[in-house]
Amino acid sequence: MQISARHLDKITIFDISGDIDLATSPELRKPLLRELRELRTPRVVLNLKAVRYIDSSGVASLVEGLKAARDVGARFILFGLNTTVREVLQLSKLVRIFEICESEEQAVAT
């Protein structure tokens, strides 16, 4: 898994690619929680377009990010969900709790 961050005014966009599983989910969780809990960025956006695979460890990291965002009053937005990611989120029945946008433009504008 690869993760990089871009900053746009008070928004941080994480571009994530590859597989999010038991081996790699800590690499996702750490920067997400730092961005929200320590840096207090008011809007954190995750670009998941290039994510090939996600399992329950990855979903758990997203849920942790969402909970951290709620704790500090920030927004936590996902966009670019491909079939694989969408299927797993739907299977988890947690898809409804996330703010999901179709595009980056929508995620930063709304």
Partner 1 sequence: MNRRNLLLKMELRSDPETLCAVRGAVAQLTERLGFSEPECRAVVLGVDEALTNIIRHAYAGHPDRPIEVHFRRIQASLCGKNGEALEIVLEDRGKNVDRAKLCGRALEDVKPGGLGLHFIRESMDALEFRRRVGRNQLRLVKFLPKPDPPAGS
Interface with partner 1 by CB under 8 A: which residues?
Answer: 19, 21-23, 53, 55-57, 59-61, 63-64, 66-67, 84, 87-88, 91-94, 97
Q: With respect to partner 1, which residue has the nearer C-beta, 57 or 108?
A: 57
The single residue listed with the structure tokens 């790699």 is 24
- Residue 5 or 22: which CB sits closer to partner 1? 22
- The nearest distance, CB 84 to partner 1, in angstroms, is 6
DSSP state, 73? T
State the DSSP code for 99: E
Residues 6+ apart with CB under 8 A from 94: 59, 63
Pairwise CA distance, residues 57 & 6, whole Å: 24
Q: Report the nearest approach of partner 1 to the CB of residue 102 (Å).
A: 22
Give least dist CB 72 to partner 1, A.
17
